[in-house]
Amino acid sequence: MSLAVLKFGGTSVGDAHAMRQTVAVIREAVAQYDHVVVVTSAMGKSADPNDTVKVTDLLLNAARAAAAGDAEAYRRARRALADKHHAAIEALITLPNDRQRISAEVDDLLTGFETLCASVQVLGEVTPRALDTIAGLGERMAARILAGALRSAGLLAEALDATAFIITNDRFQAATPLMEPTREKTRAHLLPLLERGVIPVVTGFIGATQNGIPTTLGRGGSDYSASIIAAALDADIVFNYTDVDGVLTTDPRIVPEARTIETLTAKEVSEMAYFGASVLHPLTIAPLMEKNIPLRVKNTFNPSHPGTLIVYDDAESGGGAIKAVTAIKNVSMITVAGSGMKGVPGIAGRTFMAVARTGTSVFMISQASSEQNICFVVPRQSASAVVEALKQEFENEIANGEIDGVYSFDQASIITVVGAGISETPGVSGRVFSALGAERINVFAIAQGSSECAISLIVAEERCNDAVRALHRLTEPTPA
C-alpha cells in the first residue's frame, strides 16, 4: 500500500486558476499512489494583478491594526477575504449543495474573524494566542474550498482541521508538535478516510494544545504540517508543491537565473531554510529524516519538472561544492566589546543569558575582528531591547572599563553559502572572500564552525544582493 502526502503552498491555491492546476496534480497522484493526503496553505498570491490578497498576511495585519484601534482595517479585510474566497467557490464548486454549504462555512469563519478583531480592538492589545486563532482561519477556509473543488471534479475528498489531531505545546506562533498524541490522533482521524478511498484535505500551519486552544507552527508552517502528518502515517513520500521548479541555487527574486538543485542532503536543505531560503520551513526535514521518508519539492505550475529531491544519505552530497547561496535581511549585528574582557570570567554566558531574557533568538555567533569581542546576530526589531539588556547586565564592567560598550550595527544582512563539506574543503573560503573582494564588499564577521555544510558572513544590507550575485557565480552548474 503506497501513501503520498502532497502539500500545496499559498500560490498553488491562490485563485481558482491555481486551484484547478492543483486539482489536476492531485488527480495524477491518485492514479499513482494507493492513498493520497493533501495539506493546504491559506490562499496566497494570485497571478491576477487585481488580486493582491495574501490571506495570512491580511489576517495578521488586520488583527494588529485592530489592537491599535483601527476598526475599519478589519472590516475592509473581511470584504477582501470574502471576495477572494467566494470568487474561488463560484468558479470551482459546481455541486449546488456543496457550493451553498461551503459558502456558508466561509461566511461563518469570516464572522468569527470580525468578532475576534472586535474584541482585540476593545482590549487594545492582541496576544500571541489570539493571533494564532485569527491567523489559522485562512487554512480553514482554503481546505474547505479545495476539498469542494476536488468533489466537483469527481474525486472523493473531505476537509479536516488539523486542530483535531496535530497536538502541540502552547508556544503560540511557533508551537512544537507533541509527537505521541499527534501520531495517535492523526492515524485515528485519517486512516478510516483513506480506507474508504477519501482524500483528506488537511489545513497546514495549525494545530491545537491538549486543551484544544488553536496554535500555529510559525510562518511558512504548512511545510512542517505535511511532514508531521507524513511521519505520523508512515507515508512513502512527501511532495511539496510550490511556484518554482524545486529548491533553487539562490532566491530567484535576487538572481532570476537561479537553477534547480537536483538533490540536496537533509543537512544542506535545513541550513538553507534556516538561513533564509523561504522555500521550506526550517523544521520540515526533522520528522521525515527520522523515518527516512523522501521529500520532493516541485512546481504546481510545471508538474513535469522533477524538481528537487531531499536525501538523507550524506554520501550523496556534492563533496565540497558550493550548491546554494541564501540571505537574511533585516538583522542587526551586536558586539560586546572591550580590551579588559579577557580577564573577566563568564562574560559569554552572561551575554547570552541576558539575550535570552529578552526572548530573542540568535541567528549566528561569531568572532569579530578582535578576539576580545563577542559578536552575534539578531532580528533587527529585537536589537534595541538586546542592547538595553546587555548594558544593564554589564553596568559595572562598563563603568570600570573592563567592557568598552555594547554596539549594534543595524544595516546588516547574513549571507550563507551551503554545500556539504564546504567548510572543511580547502580553498572554499578563499574563493568566497576573493569573489566578495572583487566586488569591494566588506565582510564584518564570519561564522564557519557551527555546521560543516555552511559558511555565513555578515555584510552591509546595501551590498546584500550584490554579495548574493557574486557568490552565486561560485555555485557549480548541475548536470543537464
Q: By the criterion CB under 6 A, which residues form the site for ligand ASP?
A: 9-10, 41-42, 56, 138, 204-205, 219-223
Enumerate residues 6+ apart whose C-beta is below 8 A from 304: none
Size of residue set near ligand ADP by CB under 6 A: 20
| 247 is an interface residue for ligand ADP by CB under 6 A | yes
Q: Which three cell numbers stand for residue 386?
A: 538586546
Q: Which ranges in 8-158 belong to alpha helices (H)? A: 16-32, 55-67, 71-92, 96-123, 128-135, 137-152
Least distance from C-beta 37 to ligand ASP, angstroms? Answer: 16
| Choice from 126, 146, 248, 441 touching ligand ADP (CB under 6 A) | 248
Cβ 322 vs Cβ 428: under 8 Å:
yes
| Region near ligand ADP per CB under 6 A, out of 237-245, 334-342, 347-355, 382-390 | 237-245
Instruction: Report the partner that residue 310 touches, choosing among ligand ASP, Mg ion, ligand ADP, none (CB closer than 5 to 8 A by kind).
Output: none
Find residue 335's DSSP bridge partners: 375, 407
Least distance from C-beta 179 to ligand ASP, angstroms? Answer: 20
Among residues 438, 347, 319, 331, which one has the least CA distance to residue 381?
331
| Choice from 3, 5, 6, 10 touching ligand ADP (CB under 6 A) | 10
Element (H, E) at 71: helix 71-92
Residue whose beta carbon is closest to ligand ADP: 9
> Toward ligand ADP, which CB reaches closer, 4 or 42?
42
> Toward ligand ASP, which CB reaches closer, 131 or 464?
131
Cβ 267 vs Cβ 256: under 8 Å:
no
Among residues 19, 17, 18, which one has the least CA distance to residue 144?
19
> Toward ligand ASP, which CB reaches closer, 42 or 441?
42
Pairing, β 308-311 against β 263-265: parallel
Instruction: Report the partner that residue 136 touches, choosing among ligand ASP, Mg ion, ligand ADP, none (CB closer than 5 to 8 A by kind).
Output: none
- Residue that is written with C-alpha cell 491538549 in the block: 210
Q: Which three cell numbers stand for residue 103?
A: 459558502
> Toward ligand ADP, which CB reaches closer, 9 or 320?
9
Query: The dihedral of CA 383, 386, 392, 398: what is its sign?
Result: negative
| Choice from 21, 121, 250, 270 touching ligand ADP (CB under 6 A) | 250
Q: Give residue 186's identity as a one-letter amino acid code.
A: T
Least distance from C-beta 55 to ligand ASP, angstroms? Answer: 7
> Toward ligand ADP, which CB reaches closer, 141 or 194?
141
Q: How many CB atoms lie within 10 A of CB 128?
A: 14
Least distance from C-beta 245 to ligand ADP, angstroms? Answer: 8
| 251 is an interface residue for ligand ADP by CB under 6 A | yes
Helix, strand, coil % in the chain, rounded to nearest 5: 45, 20, 35
> Toward ligand ADP, which CB reaches closer, 44 or 200?
44
Contacts (CB under 5 A) with Mg ion, residues 201-230: 220
Instruction: Report the partner that residue 244 touches, choosing among ligand ADP, ligand ASP, Mg ion, none (CB closer than 5 to 8 A by kind).
Output: ligand ADP
CA–CA separation, 448 vs 471, rounded Å?
16
Contacts (CB under 6 A) with ligand ADP, residues 321-340: 324
Strand extents, DSSP E, 278-402: 295-299, 308-311, 324-337, 364-366, 374-379
Instruction: Report the partner that residue 277 touches, choosing among ligand ADP, ligand ASP, Mg ion, none (CB closer than 5 to 8 A by kind).
Output: ligand ADP
| Choice from 244, 377, 412, 441 touching ligand ADP (CB under 6 A) | 244
Contacts (CB under 5 A) with Mg ion, residues 3-42: 9
Strand extents, DSSP E, 209-305: 214-216, 237-242, 263-265, 295-299
Instruction: Report the partner that residue 253 touches, choosing among ligand ADP, Mg ion, ligand ASP, none (CB closer than 5 to 8 A by kind).
Output: ligand ADP
Query: The dihedral of CA 414, 419, 420, 422: what is its sign?
Result: negative
| 138 is an interface residue for Mg ion by CB under 5 A | no
| Residues found near ligand ADP in the complex (CB under 6 A) | 9-12, 41, 44, 220, 242-244, 247-248, 250-253, 277-279, 324
| Residues found near Mg ion in the complex (CB under 5 A) | 9, 220
